[in-house]
Amino acid sequence: MVTGDLAFAIIGCGRIAQRHAEHISKVGKLIAVCDVDMEKAETLGRQYGSNIYSDIETLLNNENGIDVVSVCSPNGLHAQHAIAALNAGMHALCEKPMAITAYDCRQMIHAAEKNSRQLLIVKQNRFNPPVVAVKQAINNGRLGKIYSVQVNCFWNRDAGYYKNSWKGTKALDGGTLFTQFSHFIDLLYWMVGDVEKAHTLTGNFAHKNVIEFEDTGVVALQFCNGALGTIHFTVNSHAANMEGSVTIFGEKGTVKIGGQYLNVLEYQHIEGFEIANLPPGNKANHYGAYTGSMSNHGKVYENLVDVLKNGAAISTSAFEGLKTVEIIEKIYAAAQNK
């Protein structure tokens, strides 16, 4: 167990790092920050009075008192940076997606186990009030057997979003399901179960010569428990985000979590039961010209502190992060096999 105030480092000082730093300041001390772009590292470091580094190895060698490294670097570097932190004897909190290959996820888990360190994955949409309520209803058998599920991910990411960025590259981004919609895949696994088969069609309609992968996909899924599912995802919603939703059809009820970011209970019809008195959710993360998923990072850090100080259960384990990546790989592999 960790006693006293937690000491943190952040690897990667882009937009999401600002959110992490804000919540770290409420539960501990941000001792060090690191980014290959020194301007970004200096901006964040000076704001929080942190030591500033341009490479992770120097940080890990110099900062022996760090308890937790928050990995906020590009997707394709998550494994490298998390493993380095774990091997240095520090716990790691990794932004989504855990990595962009299942192999890398397994290497991360191995490093955590080898070093007896904790590895937590950020999946903040699990804390959205309607998501919490529906998950509890499923766990309590209120919906009975799950028959099928439909996921809609209709967001906008224009060319400006990808300009002069690692986003949109196969090596560091990985694909639209990794960067934009891995939260939705996580909730499919969390609520319905593991995926046995996927049938996928993808296309790049509006981002040719802008990104190295699809901007749209349609997916049919068969889950290991026999349930069926569909996913329609796109970053071509005209001019603005439109919808992020999960609709579940069960033996005893139907529910739809919608809004733009899984933040609204749009529909429910459940036998002998009603989800009522939901607390208001947090606002969406704002990143300049666009918005992203709900801002529940505070709850992620509350859980991290509870895990390290009190031995609490991890809200999203490394195994669950691995399962999300495995399902995304299965979806993309099905597209390549067409």
d(CA 17, CA 72): 6
Residue in 96, 295, 93 with CA at minimum distance from that of residue 178: 96
- Name residue, tokens 């607390």: 279
End-to-end CA distance of the chain: 50
Residue 3 pLDDT grade (very low, low, confident, very high; cuts 50, 70, 90): confident
Residue in 240, 216, 232 with CA at minimum distance from that of residue 156: 240
In degrees, to the nearest 5, what angle opens at C-alpha 261 toward C-alphas 335 and 78? 60
Say how many C-beta atoms besides its own lie within 10 A of residue 164's C-beta. 6
Does 289 have pLDDT greater than 80?
no
Residue 284 pLDDT grade (very low, low, confident, very high; cuts 50, 70, 90): low
Cβ atoms of 118 and 112 closer than 8 Å: yes
Residue 292 pLDDT grade (very low, low, confident, very high; cuts 50, 70, 90): low
The pLDDT value recorded for residue 2 is 75
Tokens of 120: 């937590």
Does 337 have pLDDT greater than 90?
no
The pLDDT value recorded for residue 157 is 97
Residues 276-302, mean pLDDT to the nearest whole number:
72
pLDDT, tens digit, 9 for 90 and up, residues 12-53: 999 999 999 999 999 999 999 999 999 999 999 999 999 999
d(CA 64, CA 75): 26
Buried b (16+ CB within 10 A) or exposed e, 204-238: bebbeebbebbbbbebebebeeebbbebebbbbee
Residue 164 pLDDT grade (very low, low, confident, very high; cuts 50, 70, 90): very high
d(CA 163, CA 30): 30
Residues 97-122, mean pLDDT to the nearest whole number:
98
pLDDT, tens digit, 9 for 90 and up, residues 193-241: 999 999 999 999 999 999 999 999 999 999 999 999 999 999 999 999 9
Domains and CATH numbers, the chain: 6-121 (3.40.50.720), 126-293 (3.30.360.10)
3-state secondary structure 64-127: CCCCEEEECCCHHHHHHHHHHHHHCCCEEEECCCCCCCHHHHHHHHHHHHHCCCCEEECCHHHH
